[in-house]
Amino acid sequence: MTEKFTKEMSIREIIEECPDTLEVFANFGLGCIGCAMASYETVEQGAVAHGIDVNSLMKALNEKTENSTSPGDGCCCCGGL
């Protein structure tokens, strides 16, 4: 599996690139869409702050991009079509 996202990326950067990842963040208990910290906090920082295993989160985020069929401009899930 090619990892599109890394733990060093900001939460907002991932969500903007692929909105379908919101579901993954929510499943892990991270309500990122309404959090001001998402703009500059990395995935790793957010995971640590919430006691979440960052490797499990990253695996789920990257799997979501491989399995998603969501259309939309700039969405990694559909090749940005």
Q: Which CATH superfamily is 11-67 part of?
A: SP0561-like (1.10.3910.10)
| DSSP reduced 3-state for 64 | helix
- CA distances, 7 to each of 10, 44, 46, 59, 81 (Å): 8, 5, 10, 10, 26
Q: What is the pTM of this model?
A: 0.77
How distant is the alpha carbon of residue 21 from its chain centre?
5
Are 72 and 31 spatial neighbours (Cβ–Cβ below 8 Å)? no
Sequence spans of domains, the chain: 11-67
Euclidean distance between CA atoms 70 and 75, whole angstroms: 8
Q: What is the pLDDT along the chain (81 residues), one digit of tens a residue?
A: 567 899 999 988 998 899 999 899 999 988 766 677 777 889 999 899 889 999 999 999 999 887 765 544 445 554 443
